[in-house]
Structure formats: C-alpha cells, structure tokens
Structure 1
C-alpha cells in the first residue's frame, strides 16, 4: 500500500481517521495476500476529486466492485472500458432511463463528481473476488466522519440499501434531502429502487436551493 498522500486529500486530511485509524488499516492491507481493489493510488479517489465545500450530493455505496479492472475509487462507477456493465450500475442506468428519459453511454461516473456528487463507498477496499471481504477493517469510521463534516449545510443524500441507510442514520432528513430505497442490485432493485425517480427528485431539490441540477447523462 502506497504512503498516504495527505496533500491530495486537501481538507479531508484533517479528519481524525487519517491519524487514528488509517495506519492500522494500511498495515492490514499491506499484509493482505490477495489482490486489493481498487489499485492503491485510487483508494481515496472520490475524496481527492471533491473537496467538502464542493459536495452538493452524496451517493453512498457499500464496497468496491470485486472484479479486477472494474473499481476505480468511486461508488458504483467503473472504468470506461468495462463491459458488460456491473449489474447494479446497469439497474441505475435503467432507472435513469425511466426517470429522465436517457442514460449515460459509459460506466465511468467521474463526470458526476465534477458536478459535486460524492460517490463514496462505506468500505474503500475489497479483496479481488470477495465482496465485503474488508468490511471489518474499520473503514466505516471514515464514512461517519465524512458525513459529520458534511452536516454543516443542506445536501442531498441518495441512500440505496440497508448499509448506506445505517451509515447515514444521523443525517437530518429535515435539513437535507434524504432518499432511501432498496439497493439497485438485481436482488433488490424491484423492491422499490425502480420507480423511485431519485435523479429528478435530487435536481428538483437542488433547484429549490438555488443550485443548478446535476447533468446525469453528459460529461
């Protein structure tokens, strides 16, 4: 595991996690005999991409895609050349199509981050082929601290599935837009994710806050 680049983290580097918890997690990752995903340089990509004050929307994922070549440090996003689409992302695109009439052509969602959407997984690493394999390393402390840092002003939260909803239980539903639905995975998408229209609802809310909506389709 590469040394932590605090300068790339910007304001996030002040979170206690990076002093108190990261050294132990880094040691565990260094001793992990299996391939760790995403690559070390991309583990904190979502935070490096978007500073706290620039975050308007938070989408919480569970952990990275466990298939080598898919994960690149952004929840639900995948490298541009990944085909077929990861199944959860395919369902997200189906809901986008139903909600606003069109969906992206690429699995790479970094253009959402460019517009203020924090694509954060609750667990930032995974052993190749073993979903949730790093769920007990302590990454959730970072998630909690990130959400606390973002409690300074209203934001929109898309919380898909029980893990995300538990992680964001303390987010104030009065101050913020809090959309909670089942996860978009094939196992649960038809239990309430499909038909929830999260993307248009977020844009309606942002516009009521005097902010531009997210261009969900085009970079």
Structure 2
C-alpha cells in the first residue's frame, strides 16, 4: 500500500496534509529502494497507522518519540516486526519492548495501575493519544537508518497541522529528536511536557540545565490529565490497557 493510500484512510489528516502529497511520493520511492535490499519496518499498510487511529479533531495528547523498534520476532513460524505504526507500541503477541516496559513502570508508580501484559497501545491511540515517531520507518535491525529520508520534514508538517488545527492538547516530548520539535508548538494554546527518552539508556537521565526531566519519575500520565483538565478537555483513561 502506498503512503498516499494510507493517508486517505484518515480523512481529516488527508485534507490537512494535502500539501505533503509530493513528499510522500518521494518517501515511497526511497522506501521502495530500501525494500529492494532489506526488509523495512513497519510493514506497508501500517506506516501511517498513528494518523488512522487518532483523528486530528480527537487529538488530546501528542507523543513524539524517535524512530520505530528495529527488532523482529518469530511468531508461529512467521517473522513479525515489533514496530506496528504506533510509536512505542507492538502488536498483540509481541513481547513488550524495553522502552515500553519503562513506560508501564512509570504508569504504575504514577497512578498505581497494574502493568499491562500487552504492548499494544491502540486503545490509548483511540482515546486521542497520537503516538508518533520523528522518523516512521527503518531498515530491519538498524536504528536511525532512515534519517536521510524526508520523514523529519513530514513530521514537521504534521506538528504544524496539530498546532494550528487540533483542539488544545498536551505534547509529551521524549528524547532529543523530539525536543527539537517543541518549537513548533504554541504554548499559549497547548501544553508541553519534556522528558528523556524512556529507553533503558535514557529513562533516568535528566538534563543538567533543567530543560527536561528524566522519564522515570516524571509522572507524565497524571500530568497529562491535569493539563487536559486545565485546557477544558476530558482525561485519558490510562488503565484501559489492563482491563
């Protein structure tokens, strides 16, 4: 499935991002060249899943991480990538990845909810959490292998649309690549929470200058809901994954 065809399945995003069609064609060409040599994750048909699961008009919290999970797993004899188009999320049956394990630990520490068994975050996405990566694809097994594509420019366009057209939301910005994107967000209309990336390497590292806190201990889940309340928006039910 072409990226334009995926985007058509998210009608409000398709309209808002109409100026990005040529860029998506170029990204598709880039991906086709990579796929001639190596598997590319997530698989076709899931690369814009975040836009399909979270309509622009329903956006409550924008999460921007870095790039997809690079690993894959063998399930019933089939090779299945961990990356499934929603940042930090995996399909049912795939082991919960280390970054998400840290997020679940923080969720439990913050709100006392049980740690979910599955890494599938679709139900959060359907409540208005846009689960986005700065770069949406990679070569199988190789982190940051598609940084030379135009994904970062497309991400900038997505964030500009969020800033200008979405109702007031809370931006959870995780990691250095994501922090660079916060300048695109109007803090008079929206709110920003900046943390380190939840990966094992960065989850407990705060900035020396105080510009962002460590992800672990950030209490980002309760902070998002407090900010949503201040913005006149309804809260997100973070416990839904464990029900």
TM exceeding 0.5: yes
Aligned pairs for 1:41-60 within 5 A:
41-60=45-64
| TM-score, structure 2 as length reference | 0.85
**How far apart are 1:17 and its partner, in Å?**
5.4
Aligned residue runs from structure 1 range 35-46, under 5 A:
35-46=39-50
Return 5+ residue gaps in structure 1 as ranges: none
2: CA distance between counterparts of 1:107 and 1:64? 14
Match of 1:190 among 172, 197, 204: 204
3-state SS of 2:183 partner? coil
Mapped to 1, the partners of 2:103 and 2:140 lie a distance apart of 23
Cα displacement (A) at 1:167: 2.0
2:183 to 165, 169, 173: 169
Q: Is residue 17 of structure 2 the alignment partner of residue 10 of structure 1?
A: no
Q: Deviations over 1:21-66 (max 9, x none)?
A: 1111111111111100011010011111222111111001111111
Equivalent of 1:126, from 115, 119, 138?
138
- Aligned pair count reads 218
Contact 1:17 1:142 (C-alpha < 8 Å) held by counterparts: no
Give RMSD over aligned pairs.
1.5
Match of 2:152 in 1: 140
Aligned residue for 1:209?
A: 231
Preserved CA contact (<8 Å) 2:61 2:130:
yes
TM-score (norm 1): 0.94
What CA distance in whole angstroms lies between the structure 2 residues aligned with 1:169 and 1:77?
26
Task: Tell me the distance in 2 between the aligned counterparts of 1:45 and 1:96.
Answer: 24
What is the rounded CA distance, in whole Å, between the counterparts of 2:2 and 2:21 in structure 1?
A: 16
In 2, distance between residues paired with 1:86 and 1:25?
27
| Deviating 4+ runs (over 3 angstroms) | none
